[in-house]
Amino acid sequence: MKKFFKSKKASIISLLLILCLVFSTLVFASQDSNKQSNKVKNVILMIPDGMTIAHTTLARWYQGGEPLSMDEIACGLVRTYSANNPITDSAPAATAYATGYKTQNRYLSIYPEIASMPGVGQVEEKDFFKPIVTILEAAKKFGKSTGLVVTCQFPHATPAAFAAHTDNRNDYESIAEQMVYNQVDVVLGGGWKYIDKNQRKDKEDLVQYLRDNGFVVTTKWEDLKNESPRKVWGLFAQDAMHYEFDRNGTDKPSLAEMTQKALQILSKNKNGFFLMVEGSEIDWASHANDPVGVVSEVLAFDKAVKVALDFAKSRDDTAVIIAPDHNNGGMTLGNYSAQVDSVLLNDFLKYIKKAKRTGSGIEDLLGNNRTDENIKKIVSQYYGVDNLTQDEIDAIKKAPAGRLNYVLGPIISKRSYIGWTTNEHTGEDVVLYAYHPNGYVPHGVIDNTEVCDYIADILGIDLGSFNENSYISNVDLEEKGYNVTIDTSNPNNIQLVISSKGKTYIVPQNKNAVIEGNKQYTLKYVSAYITSAKRFFVSSEIEEILK
């Protein structure tokens, strides 16, 4: 009996162990299955530059209170501070979205030298200024197609952060060259002059380089309307494109049309794609305190959101993330003149609804004819304002070229009870929006770096592995015993010169090339010369070439 009891007890224990093992297997299998179901093939990241809740509220009222396309997927808030400041500029804000790391103001996708904000880790001194591989660059190495769609000039801060590395966000020519050599598959927006050899200081023929590498390069939307080449750069303005309200009647595409075309092209890749779409000029209208420009660009962006969401909802492999990079202007619906119950909805909208052009569009219409009578005529015809003061007329006369919206914006704002606190960025959190086919989206308050972490997670990309030993500097090469100099004799074409085993290797800045005599090698990543640090960074596999 005792023996039987022991045997029975052992059997029960064995059975329990088996049940636990089966249960654990099922749990882990379920977890693995859920984890796998969170993966997507395509990600569309949309950045409404400088957009705040006040912006979306005004745009919603402008269209009669109807919801915006993005409203249904609002899910949280994003903290926007940079590595060294509670108020970020667009370069480090976009860097956080592109790399998952904070950097300091004016820097694009390089590690910061200064990390003074709470919770921001300081990198080792040897890594100061080192380029950080972006989610776009990693997606490309992962076999995915990549795209950038903007209304600004393409080397501007936000798009640049995804395909370039520099300590100077305003060095458009170097940034443009890096972006070209990064071979982003689809680039649509403005900025032709930055690839045109006749307008570049270094006379580099970047147009020909793209064409030699299989890209269609055009300035005409007509060339793309009915065509879908696999790789294309369509740049439809010398510099930035027009605001949406000012684009009407032109042959230039809208942000929504460019987004549609990019999706049509990128979705041909069976491995999927990463696409960044920026509503670039929401930010610019906010800098000018121009509520007409704000409405113009928020609604144009929201139409692009609809295109993206329609695409994503028509399939089960695409996520859409919408995240402003920062606030701008301190815009409010209500100013010091507005009292509760004293201002009706029409008081906010009557002049904005009458507006047919933004402040920039009015400047184009006025041209050099800034007489009192012409100013009153144009402002009345396109804004419905018939009571300009003499001070306002004089201010319009004196507005510098390209800055008339900074005068007209406040004129309309004052009459519309819209307040502004600044012409610059502000530091509050921004609204996060996200769509995932299986509902796997971030919630609550997250850091801007976590947006990139989320994108990498759902794409199944280990972004950290791409950054392990990705770049090596001239200092590192010297410590390894190579004879290294930085040739700055031509400031428009700085080169790293390396001597090894009787051979001389030339590494031009902003390219992914190494030249040794008649031989040319292609590197994984573009090289970058960091001017403020006088350090040259090159893709680390150069060491295999030097051996």
Q: Known catalytic residues?
A: 90
Contacts of 163 (CB under 8 A, 6+ apart): 134, 136, 137, 146, 148, 178, 179, 182, 184
The secondary structure element, H or E, covering residue 420 is none
Report whether 436 belongs to an annotated binding site. no
Nearest to 325 by CA among 66, 27, 98: 98
Whole-angstrom distance, CA of residue 474 vs CA of residue 419: 51
* 55 labelled ligand-binding: no
Q: Which residues pair with 320 in a beta bridge?
A: 44, 435
Cβ proximity of 214 and 185 under 8 Å? no
443 is known to lie in a ligand binding site: no
- The neighbouring-strand residues paired with 444 are 76
**Beta bridge mates, 327:** 426
Task: Write out the two tokens for 301.
Answer: 């962006």
Is 287 one of the annotated binding-site residues? yes
Contact 528, 182 (CB under 8 A): no
C-alpha distance across the termini of the chain, in Å: 78
Is 32 buried (19+), middle (13-18) or exposed (0-12) by CB count in 10 A?
A: exposed
Q: Phi/psi of residue 346, each to 5°?
A: -65, -30
- The rounded distance, in Å, linking the Cα atoms of 101 and 117 is 13
Residue with tokens 């972490």: 453
Residues in the chain, how many? Answer: 547
Beta-strand pair 327-328/425-426: antiparallel
CB 320 within 8 A of CB 277: no
218 a known binding residue? no
Tell me the angle at which helices 291-313 and 405-415 cross, rounded to the nearest 10 degrees.
90
Tell whether residue 326 is among the known ligand binding residues.
yes
Ordered DSSP codes for 27-72: HHHHHHHHHHHT--SEEEEEEETT--HHHHHHHHHHTTTPPPTTGG
Residue 290 known to bind ligand? no
Give the bridge partners for 445, in sequence order: 77
* Bind-site residues: 49, 156, 158, 278, 283, 287, 325-326, 425
* Bind-site residues for Zn(2+): 49, 283, 287, 325-326, 425
* Bind-site residues for Mg(2+): 49, 156, 158, 278
